[in-house]
Structure 1
Amino acid sequence: MPTQTAYNAYQQNSVTTASPGELTLMLYNGCLKFLHQSKKAIVEKNIEGKNTNIQKAQAIISELMSTLNMDIALSQQMFSLYDFMKNRLTEANIKNDISIIDEVEGYVVEFRDTWREVIRINRQKQFSGNQV
């Protein structure tokens, strides 16, 4: 399957050449993908798929938690929010509750969009010659 091999190589290259900010954006997007797949699995009554995708989303949230600089007050607040999201996903997994996944998805979208804007502003500053 040469097309799939080329796509996998492209994906691997995009990860290895991404900036830390872009990697964080990729984590948010991956989390959203797994949340969407978990909701689909609930609708399809695919318990294994639901569980696997919720656990993948939780693993991404754990990774985001591990990257926080806990010397910064905002990071401490983010840690608490990420922990809340992981706990809500555990509850969604137990209850097969799409509305809880929607709630967590809303937070992830907000964080992702904010992070995307930060990257955009930083790039503007870099290209205009201003230091970040």
Structure 2
Amino acid sequence: MQGNNAYNVYKNNSVNFASKEQLLLMLLDGAVKFSKIGRQAIEDKDIKKAHENIVKTQDIFYELINSLDVPKGGEWAEGLLKVYEFIIDRLVNANIKKDITIMDEVIPIIEDVRNTWEEAYNISKTNS
């Protein structure tokens, strides 16, 4: 029990002291994880688990949309907004239809978004 408590303290501290960039990567790690859990749950015919995890993934992308400053980010932010909206749309369809094929289409896109942000974060660290 004590080890579990230590892990929770560590987890809370890692979130509380993370930079904006690190928090973004944590969110995207969650999106990748939840989308894969949702996909597996569809395969396992666990409708409730599939729904819950796909919705968690959608919620992450809704939050990312809310954090976008499109006027400031201009064309780049508009493009990102379209990618996020596409991901949400595909997740909604996958959830409604419980369709593994759609999940297999969207998961690599989610992973690409995550990897792109990680690359940008690493470049920004080396240039600072």
TM-score, normalised via structure 1 length: 0.91
More helix by share: 2
**Structure 1: runs of 5 or more not aligned:** 127-132
Taking the aligned partners of 1:4 and 1:99, their CA distance within structure 2 comes to 37
Which residue of the partner structure matches residue 106 of structure 1? Answer: 108
Q: Look up the equivalent residue of 2:101 and give its one-letter code.
A: S
Equivalent residue in structure 2 for 1:83, among 82, 85, 93: 85
Taking the aligned partners of 1:74 and 1:100, their CA distance within structure 2 comes to 26
**Structure 2: runs of 5 or more not aligned:** none
The reply to whether residue 115 of structure 1 matches residue 117 of structure 2 is yes
The reply to whether residue 97 of structure 1 matches residue 99 of structure 2 is yes
Superposed displacement of residue 85, structure 1: 0.9
| 1:84-123, Cα deviation, whole Å (9 max, x unpaired) | 1111111101111112112221111111111111111111
CA RMSD of aligned residues (A): 1.0
Number of aligned positions between the proteins? 126
TM-score, normalised via structure 2 length: 0.93
- Percent identity reads 38
Aligned structure 1 segments of 4 or more residues deviating by more than 2 angstroms: none
Taking the aligned partners of 1:13 and 1:104, their CA distance within structure 2 comes to 32
Q: Look up the equivalent residue of 1:63 and give its one-letter code.
A: E
What is the correspondence of 1:18-97 to structure 2 with a 5 Å cutoff?
Answer: 18-71=18-71, 72-97=74-99
